[in-house]
Chains A and B, each alone.
Chain A
Amino acid sequence: MLQIKDLQAGIEGKEILKGINLTIQPGEVHAIMGPNGSGKSTLASVLAGRSDYEVTGGSVEFLGKDLLDLSPEARAGEGLFLAFQYPVEIPGLSTINFMKTAVNEVRKYRGQEALDAAEFLKLMKEKMNLVNIDKNLLTRSLNEGFSGGEKKRNEVFQMAMLEPRLAILDETDSGLDIDAIRIAAAGVNAVRSKENATLVITHYQRLLDYIVPDFVHVLYNGRIVKSGGKELALELEETGYSFLKNEMNIA
């Protein structure tokens, strides 16, 4: 589904990703872990198409298309979703209106008919129940004055609405207490299927107690330096990231 080959990217002339290789198949859950500054969020941003980042080498193929060639909205249309680490507050735009526009633009991209008001409300209700989010939150201005947990839950709701093939969760656990993590994770699990895949980017292991990965990759200094099963996350939790520095220095 997703094939990243020797991806190199940076910002303002500074190289951050120094050759990433990663393949994700439908139905899989991958976790990328790594210390601060290793390039985790850069990878998420590059995949979603944030224009501040410059790709200097390598390729990314998503469902047979050259992902890097697509605009952010086309990537979403193709089925890529990024749950933001810091969801943006937009006063004056309700989540409902935002999602109505987004769902119909994505449907248009996919050659589907736009949903009318009734169909949209039905879909919204279904997804609201699925991810356990309150309607009052959705009628308010997008993320404005939301708590950290509410913002992340809203991200999961948007993900459920857009039914992506690949969801990238960028530090979805950051700033959340354990209950909020559990709720967000439950939402993510509720929308998982055999056809879609999830890429969880996190600093800590605890989110992976709730979203159990098939593969764990350790990102360090712009490269994936270690890959393994879910036990690798537990190992990291024990030893921390300091071992990496030693290993890397020896290498």
Chain B
Amino acid sequence: MSTINIIKDKARELGTTQADALQPIRSAALASFDKLGVPAVKHEEWKYTRISQLFNQSYKIGTDTVDSKLNWELFRLPEFETANELVFINGVYNAAASTVRSAGLVVLPLEEAAKGEYASIVSKHLGHSAEYLKDGINALNTSFLVGGVFIGVNRSTEIEHPVYIYTINDGRAENVFAQPRTLVHVAANAGVMFVETYGSIGHADHFTNQVMEVVVEQDARIEYYKIQNDHAGASLVSTTHFRQVGKSYVHAVTISLNGAMVRNNLNMVMEAEYCESNMYGLYFTSDSCHVDNHTIVDNAKPHCLSNEYYKGILDGASTGVFNGKIFVRQDAQKINAFQSNKNILLSDTASVYTKPQLEIFADDVKCSHGCTIGRLDEEGLFYLRSRGITEATAKSLLLHSFAVDILEQVKPDAIRVYIDQLISERLGSYYGNAYPI
């Protein structure tokens, strides 16, 4: 039986074993997946990312039981001692491993949140990303809606400590297919920061198909950092769907340093006036790593501001894809939308596909976009070498300086230093020369 059919069978089986409030949503999503299927490369949005190939191998389906003694602590982020830590193993939220310490931060299994105090929020927002964009991959995640979490930030609460999300797969014995699911609700006038990282125990291949929906209410603020540095057999589709339902602030930075096939879908749906959203990304890839950033900024109302800046360094036979869609609806006058994507190709076999896509229906707006693809600056390299800096170190310095303005968008010092170290280590090992800080 094909992998797809095994997965579908498993999803159908959930319908008989899980009789919770989410079952109708799962069933509908399965029907949708049946219809849509896995996106093929003829699908414009998936032209360069051959996701179907990930279904050519067999997987252990993530909702099966997990090893409770799994050493996920390996992946802990700096200053975890004071952070809130949410752990997903094989796509399933693991409450025992997780710690919630901040008052005003609510973390509940989605099944539970769907019937209690937060029921109306869940029913209103869960699945919005699928309504917004019909996509087989999203439907597939929803058809397995088990072990997801609801994260709520209470009204007028500033969550002092960051929320770290660890998405870990146990690939010691066999390939894993994991589908974590999260719904985040940041209530009016609240503020919160998330840092998410991904890791593998063992070396088997895995495929994580993640959907995260984030609702940001009036005067709320959210920072969201993603760090993707998994092994070369780790594939990921990470859909993060922001819905700014009130005037609010979103700051998102996506750092992709390794993986097999990584696809980030980052959507900013600005449904209120005076929203601000910042989207930054850095991808630094080598070997056969494939990183695809698809972003959407949807301006539905006037006076919004969005900044988007992605940078890529591509080496080996790696591939980068950037697709930045900006919609400006008819009512969205006086908005400002900026977009830029810059790439450096370090080898003849690396490639990058970049595409800005602006659809503007309002007539009094300011939008700009631009993209560049180039090589490492020869003139800069000679300048540094003429000062006595060896070629290897000069290359490291230049690449690091290229990445700096994205790194600077990582506001918490400890996390920025952590990411900087990952990059510097890469630059060092890569050129066989320690990067001097």
Contact = CB atoms under 8 A, between A and B. Distances in A.
Given A88-B380, A90-B380, A90-B401, A76 B393 contact: no
A177 to B, nearest CB: 24
B382 A98 contact: no
Interface stretch (B101-109, B150-158, B200-208, B384-392): B384-392
Closest 3 pairs (CB-CB, A-B): A92-B401, A92-B404, A76-B388
Contacts, number: 79
Interface string A66-107: 000001110111000110100110111100011111101110
B382 A162 contact: no
Given A101-B397, A101-B436, A105-B393, A88 B379 contact: yes
A147 interface: no
Contact of A93 (B379, B385, B388, B397): B397
A51 interface: yes
Interface in B373-415: 377, 379-380, 382-391, 393-394, 397-398, 400-405
Given A90-B398, A93-B401, A104-B436, A162 B387 contact: yes
Nearest to B392: A73
A171 B379 CA distance: 17
Contacts of B387: 73, 76, 98-99, 102, 106, 158, 162
Interface in A145-165: 158, 162
Contact of B388 (A84, A87, A162): A162
Contact of B390 (A84, A87, A93, A105): A105
A88 B383 contact: yes
Interface residues of B, number: 24
A73 B397 CA distance: 15
Interface string A118-152: 00000000000000000000000100000000000
Contacts of A75: 386
Main secondary structure of the interface of B (DSSP, over half): helix
B382 A76 contact: no
13 contacts: A48-B386, A71-B385, A72-B382, A72-B386, A73-B388, A73-B389, A88-B383, A90-B380, A92-B402, A92-B405, A93-B400, A93-B404, A102-B389
B388 A106 contact: yes
Q: Kindly name the residue among B377, B385, B400, B401 whose own CB sees the greatest number of chain A CB atoms within 10 A.
A: B385
Given A92-B402, A92-B404, A71 B379 contact: no
B376 to A, nearest CB: 12
A51 B382 contact: yes
A48 B400 CA distance: 25
A49 interface: yes
A91 B320 CA distance: 23
Interface residue tally of chain A, by bracket? 20 to 34
A173 B394 CA distance: 28
Given A50-B382, A88-B383, A101-B436, A73 B390 contact: yes
Contacts of B385: 49, 71-73, 76
A49 B394 CA distance: 15
A31 to B, nearest CB: 21
Contacts of B391: 71, 73
Nearest to A74: B388
Given A72-B385, A91-B404, 18 more contacts: A49-B382, A49-B386, A71-B391, A73-B386, A73-B391, A76-B385, A76-B388, A77-B388, A81-B386, A90-B380, A91-B401, A92-B405, A93-B401, A98-B384, A99-B387, A101-B436, A105-B393, A106-B387
Contacts of A101: 389, 393, 397, 436
A49 B398 CA distance: 19
Nearest to A158: B387
A163 to B, nearest CB: 11
Contacts of B403: 92
Contact of A82 (B386, B397, B400): B386
B437 to A, nearest CB: 8
A84 B383 contact: yes
Contacts of B388: 73, 76-77, 102, 105-106, 109, 162
A83 to B, nearest CB: 10
A64 B405 CA distance: 44
Contacts of B380: 88, 90
A102 B436 CA distance: 10
Contacts of B389: 73, 101-102, 105
